Structure 1
Amino acid sequence: MACGKTLAEVPMRVGIIAPNYYPAETGNAVTVRRIERQLRLLGCDVRVFPVGRLAGERLQAAVEEFSPQLLHAFHAYHGGRVAHALSTSLGIPYLITLTGTDVYQALCDQRGLEMHGALRCAARLVAFHACVKKRLGEHLPSIEERTVLIHQGVELPADYAPLAGAGAEDEFVFLLPAGMRPVKNVLFPLAPLAELHSRYPQVRLELAGPVLEPGYAAQVMEELERYPFARYLGVVAHDAMGELYRRVDVVLNTSLTEGGMANTVLEALAYAKPVLVSDIEGNRSIIKDSVTGLVYRDAADFRGKAEHLVTDAHLRGRLGKNGRCLVRDSCCPEKEAGSYLALYRDILSAA
């Protein structure tokens, strides 16, 4: 530390251990890139080490060369174990942000034992919502007290009005933005929306997102051949998603699990779009049914609520307005990054 300077006055050097940093359109990548950008605005010296492109000795050499004061890993299994190994080797503290499948899937299967060391040795763990912290505590009660809550942030666009003339006037578009993997359950809306399409021919479904599991993506493409009202848009660059949100009528989340606040749901709310989401802890952490969006329990409930959205413009407008107010008041990205910076300082002070 420079002579005469306090810890708060020295630029913080943070090494981020990020799985799924590429492609840039995955939920984890969106989260990491937002936090990375905001930390730099706060004066931090940040470098991201993408797990997958760097590994083993190359990764350790790159981290050593940067010489961070602490490591911040995302996803306990894919990032946390790497940070744990680097921490042991380099003698620096680390924290882990829990992102979803690490708590809701990996902790419950054979990978759980491989994660225990990383979770127990982390200086802090971060959850997006109390439901994730509670779930972690059910598996590992001893580390619940070291788990802090930092809500996801989302950029609030100034221009969010629907695009005039962007789509055909006789189309009503449901958008499902999700990576192609089973946990996102992207096949689910095809059958119920097909029934709706038979009565409302203007109904369309658009899927957008990267291929994360090729076998599952092939299954999705095959199914789409049976449903001509639905189409796959491919990967949409994150900076182009705003225009897509503004063009569509309703945004879906059909996930089987989410690690708290899904980026796509927050983004849809920021664009004042009504959302229809699955009844899981992560979605309930954001959406109050019939207030900030609609939550469905099963296919019949999905179909009924989707029809209500198609036929009731007042409902769509009310949900969209309430959703935007929610993220404006509760999901500030500057506050999110400030909370991380304060947590970094606490960790280093303790160390």
Structure 2
Amino acid sequence: MRVGIIAPNYYPAETGNAVTVRRIEGQLRLLGCEVRVFPVGRLAGERLQAEVEEFAPQLLHAFHAYHGGRVAYALSKSLGIPYLITLTGTDIYQALCDQRGLEMHGALRRASRLVAFHACVKKRLGEHLPSLEERTVLIHQGVELPTEYAPPAGVAARDEFVFLLPAGLRPVKNVMFPLAPLAELHARYPQVRLELAGPVLEPAYAAEVMETLEQYPFARYLGVVAHDAMGDLYRRVDVVLNTSVTEGGMANTILEALAYAKPVLVSDIEGNRSIIKDGVTGLVYHSAADFCSKAEHLVTDAHLRDRLGKNGRCLVRDSCCPEKEAGAYLALYRDILATA
């Protein structure tokens, strides 16, 4: 089977969409598919259509209804091949709710299938476009489970307690939120540190972040960390944060943190609640005060950190298999082609 993937944010490789696409791309190849990724942004217009036409895929798989779905819709009309869209988060939680929503309707309605990572995303789509719920399929995100996940030798002896926030620098990730509550915590526990890691996706926002960081000496920006180096970073830190305003369900960084048996502290949004059960597989905060209180528990209670980390790793081991994820997509492709 030949599958053309329409991928926004395929570069830089460290964005959530890129991590998802690259994982699925690799697993589909292991299942015998011929796959080619067409990165929206690097390719456009006539050049994009010419390259897709030359590859001659049997179907197109777009990620993000606004950035990828509209492109797949146009190519489908021109080339006469079916397409599906995987909903990735900001398309449903932001774009569908603003002026971009009307531009997405045609792409959503004409797609052979829509894929959501979790039922909360499917429900949110149904609130806007009820007729599309029956064509929306749930396929959970996968994550590679590392065999080596214990902290490196010497980490336990260091005099630092590190909170890691892995996120691209854009407003939806809300990366400045933890600075004030962690400053309060740092005053009581001088070993507390915050590290930010991720690509600059919106330069104006990133500049604001860098300026704000100057006021918080315990925090630092690591820059872009290559995805194949993230494992070493997860192993080194103590807690992983997600402070997003929205997520499309099952954020890659949280799944990866759980795979490395790291305790997580996450914002109270649908996407995070789709993975994290408060007090069981992680901690969910509802306000800045709640964040500070739960962060303090994590700093002072090693048994809590250990229990959450073990539970999280068991969760992704049992529910987030990348081979099953790719197999579900392949079955969906076959179903689409059988009824096209």
TM-score (norm 1): 0.96
Question: Aligned match of 1:137 in 126, 129, 139?
Answer: 126
SS at match of 2:151: coil
CA offsets, 1:143-198, max 9 Å, x none? 11000000000000000001112487110000000000000000000000000000
1:57-113 Cα distance to aligned partner (Å, 9 max, x none): 000000000000000000000000000000000000000000000000000000000
Q: Distance in 2 between matches of 1:44 and 1:167?
A: 44
Rounded to whole Å, the distance in 2 between the matches of 1:120 and 1:179 is 30
Distance 2:292 2:306 in 1: 19
Q: What is the 5 A alignment of 1:16-55? A: 16-55=5-44
Aligned to 2:250: 261
- Structure 1: gaps (5+ residues): 1-11
Aligned partners of 1:177 and 1:166: how far apart in 2?
Answer: 19
Give the secondary structure class of the aligned counterpart of 2:102: helix
CA distance in 2, matches of 1:141, 1:276: 33
Match of 1:7 in 2: none
Map of 1:212-291 to 2, 5 A cutoff?
212-291=201-280
Q: Distance in 1 between matches of 2:115 and 2:152?
A: 37
Superposed displacement of residue 125, structure 1: 0.1
Name the CA distance, whole Å, in 1 between partners of 2:117 and 2:153: 35
Superposition CA RMSD, Å: 0.6
The residue correspondences of 1:1-351 to structure 2 (distance < 5 A) are 12-166=1-155, 169-351=158-340
Find the aligned partners of 2:177 and 2:157 in 1 and give their Cα distance.
25
Percentage of matched positions with identical amino acids: 90
* Residues in 2 aligned to 1:167 and 1:310: alpha-carbon distance in whole angstroms: 13
Q: What is the alpha-carbon distance in structure 1 between the residues aligned to residue 180 and residue 204 of structure 2?
A: 21
Q: Report the 3-state secondary structure (helix = DSSP H, G, I; strand = E; otherwise coil) of the residue aligned with 2:272.
A: helix
- SS of the aligned residue for 1:231 comes to strand
Structure 1 contact 172–203 (Cα < 8 Å) conserved? yes
TM-score, reference length from structure 2: 0.99
Q: Is the 8 A contact 1:287 1:294 kept in 2?
A: yes
Aligned amino acid, residue 318 of structure 2: D
Give SS of 1:50's match: strand
* C-alpha separation in 2, matches of 1:151 and 1:201: 39
Render the CA deviation track for 1:304-323: whole Å, top value 9, x for unaligned: 00000000000000000000
Instruction: Count residues with an aligned counterpart.
Output: 340
Structure 1 stretches of 4+ with a deviation exceeding 4 A read none
Q: Any idea what SS the aligned residue of 2:195 has?
A: strand
Q: Is the Cα–Cα contact under 8 Å of residues 15 and 48 in structure 1 kept in the other structure?
A: yes
Residue type of the alignment partner of 1:143: L
Structure 2 alignment gaps of length 5 or more = none
